[in-house]
Amino acid sequence: MYFQLAPTNSLGPVLTSALNSEAPYTSPPDVTQVNVVTHSATELVLEWTKVNNNPSYYYTLDSNGIETNITASEGGSTVTHTVSSLSPGTRYTFTLFTVFEGVRSRGFEFSAATVPTATSVTVTYRNTTALSLEWSTANNTDYILMLSSGRNITFTSPPEDKVTHTIGSLLPGTIYNFTLFNTFESVTQKYEFATITKISCVDSPWIFTSTTIEAEVPGLYSMATAKNNYQGGDVNGIVEGNKVSFSNLYPGATYSVSFYYLLDEERLLQCSHSVTLVPAAVTSLSCEGGDYSVFLKWEEPFGLWTEAEVNVIGIGSQLVSRTDVKIAGLEPSRTYNISVTSLSGAVRGPNQWTSCHTTSSMVVLVPEVVIMLLGLLTSMGYF
C-alpha cells in the first residue's frame, strides 16, 4: 500500500491509497567502508557504519555467490558480522548490499585476507658456530626471519617449496631466539622458536679410571649420559656447572658420553665423546719354572679386556689373548721378573708382577755323571 495526494478541495490536499500496487522505492545508499576488525586463519570479523543510521535497512553479504542476510541490531551506529569456515592465507572478495523493502543498493565491493598458517621451522643442522633452518612456503607469501640480535633477513615470495637458510658466525653453546613472520596480502602471522649451537668436548680434559669418568667441558648443557655397547642402557652423570662425573662403570668398556641441553622439553645433543676405561688388573698370577722356560697363568680380569701384555725384564714382551702363556728360550737356574698387564684396546691396566725361577736339573745331572764315570774308571784299574 502507498499513499498519494489527490487534487485539492476547499479543505486542502486529500490522501488517497492504492492497494496491491508496486512501491516506488529507490535503491538505498551503499555503505561507504567495511573494516576488518579481526583476522584469523578461518574467520574474518567485519564492521561497517549503518547507512543513514536507518534501522529499517538490512544488509546482504555476497561471497562467490553465497549470500547471507544480516539484520542490524537495535541501538548503536555500527554493524558487526563474522564470516567463518574460511581457509588460512586466502584472499576473499565480498559485495555488501544495503536492502530496504526488497530493493538493493548497487553494492559495495571489498576484499579481505585470512591470516596465513603459522610456518613452523625445522632446525636441520647445528654445529658450534652455525645453524641451518628450513620451512615450507606458500604461494604469494613473504617471509622475514628476525634474529634476537635485531638482524632481519627477508625472503620475498620465494619460488621454492621449501626455504633453507644457514646462519653462521655464531657463538658455541649459545641459545638463539628467532621469529619467522609470514605475510600474505598484508596480513602477518608469526612463529617464534629458539635453538642452541653445539659445544666441543673433544679438547676438554678427561680423567678416567676403571670405573669412573670425570670431565670439565665448557659450554651450555643440562644433562649427560654414558652408554657402552656391552651392557646397554644409559648411565646418568652428575652435572655441576661445567663438570660432569660418572661412577660404577664397567672396567675396560668403551663408553659414548653424550651431553644434552633441554630446550622447550626437547633434548638437544650438544656433543659426544668416546672414552675407554682402564681395564681391571689380572688376578691370581702364578708361575711354574722349567729348565729353559716358565709357564704363566692368571685369572681373567673383571670387565672387558682385549689382550694381555707379558713382559720379561731383560728379554722382551709379547701380547696374548689367553689367560696363560709359556715363555721359552730362558737360561736355567735363573730368576726372571715378569709383569702381566691387561689391555682394552690401547688403554693399559695396572701391571701385575711376579718372579719366576728356572730350574737347574741339567746342571745337577752333569756332576753326577762325572762321578759315575770316575768310579767306573777306578774299578777298571785306570786309577
For residue 294, what pLDDT is reported?
Answer: 97
Predicted confidence band of residue 284 (pLDDT cuts 50, 70, 90): very high
CA distance 143 to 26: 49
Written as one string, the DSSP assignment of 217-233 is --S--SEEEEEETTT-S
> Any idea which of 200-204, 237-241, 372-376 has the lowest mean pLDDT?
372-376
| Contact predicate 345/254, CB 8 Å | yes
Q: Do residues 294 and 338 lie in contact, with contact meaning Cβ atoms separated by under 8 Å?
A: yes
**Does the pLDDT of residue 13 top 60, yes or no?**
no
- Identity of residue 29: P
Which amino acid is present at 72? A
Q: Taking Cα atoms as reference points, which of 4, 36, 7 lies closest to residue 19?
A: 4
pLDDT band per the 50, 70, 90 thresholds, residue 145: very high
How far apart, in Å, do the first and last CA atoms of the chain sit? 176
Is 50 exceeded by the pLDDT of residue 20?
A: no
pLDDT value, residue 237: 98
Q: Cβ distance 328 to 289 under 8 Å?
A: no
Kindly tell me if the per-residue pLDDT of 3 is higher than 80: no
Residues in the chain: 383
Among the listed ranges 10-24, 48-62, 113-127, 323-337, which one has the minimum average pLDDT value?
Answer: 10-24
pLDDT at 370: 52
State the amino acid at position 49 in one-letter form: T
- Asked if pLDDT for residue 382 goes beyond 70, the answer is no
CA distance 150 to 162: 24
3-state helix/strand/coil string of 338-353: EEEEEEECCEEEEEEE
pLDDT at 22 over 70: no
Instruction: Compute the distance between CA of residue 356 and CA of residue 381 in angstroms, rounded to an integer.
Output: 46
pLDDT value at position 127? Answer: 98
DSSP secondary structure string for all residues of 163-210:
EEEEE-SPPTT-EEEEEEEEEETTEEEEEEEEEE-----SSS-EEE-S
Could you give the strand order of the β-sheet that contains 347-357, starting from the edge strand earlier in sequence? 316-320, 307-312, 335-344, 347-357
Lowest mean pLDDT among 115-124, 170-179, 281-290, 356-365: 356-365
Q: Are 289 and 333 in contact (CB under 8 A)?
A: no
Q: What digits encode the pLDDT tens for the residues 151-196?
A: 999 999 999 999 999 999 999 999 999 999 999 999 999 999 999 9
Sequence-distant (≥ 6) Cβ neighbours of residue 252 within 8 angstroms: 210, 276, 277, 278, 279, 280, 301, 303, 304, 305, 342, 344, 347, 349
Instruction: Check pLDDT > 70 for residue 215.
Output: yes
Flag whether pLDDT at 19 surpasses 90: no
pLDDT score of 233: 86
What number is the average pLDDT over the span 10-37? 66
pLDDT tens, residue by residue, 106-139: 999 999 999 999 899 999 999 999 999 999 999 8
Q: Tens digits of per-residue pLDDT, 305-318?
A: 999 999 999 999 99
Q: What percent of the chain has pLDDT over 70?
A: 88
The 8-class DSSP code of residue 301 comes to P
CB proximity list for 238: less than 8 A, separation 6 or greater: 244, 245, 246
Q: What is the mean pLDDT of the chain?
A: 90
What average pLDDT does range 342-358 have in this prediction?
A: 97
pLDDT at 74: 82
Radius of gyration of the chain (CA): 47
CB under 8 Å to 91, separation ≥6 — which residues? Answer: 111, 112, 113, 184, 185
Query: Distances from the Cα of 355 to the Cαs of 120, 224, 321, 338, in angstroms?
Result: 71, 45, 21, 6
Cβ-based neighbour number of residue 108 at 10 Å: 19
Rounded to an integer, what distance in angstroms lies between the CA atom of residue 275 and that of residue 213?
8
Write down the pLDDT at residue 376.
Answer: 61
CA 217 to chain CA mean position, Å: 20
d(CA 256, CA 25): 87
Rounded mean pLDDT of 75-98? 95
Mean pLDDT score, 10-14: 38
The pLDDT tens digits for 241-276 are 999 999 999 999 999 999 999 999 999 999 999 999
In the chain, the domains with their CATH numbers are 2-113 (2.60.40.10), 122-196 (2.60.40.10), 206-276 (2.60.40.10), 283-361 (2.60.40.10)
Q: What sign for the dihedral angle of Cα 365, 367, 369, 372?
A: negative
What pLDDT digit, counting tens, does each position of 45-83 carry? 999 999 999 999 999 999 989 999 999 888 889 999 999
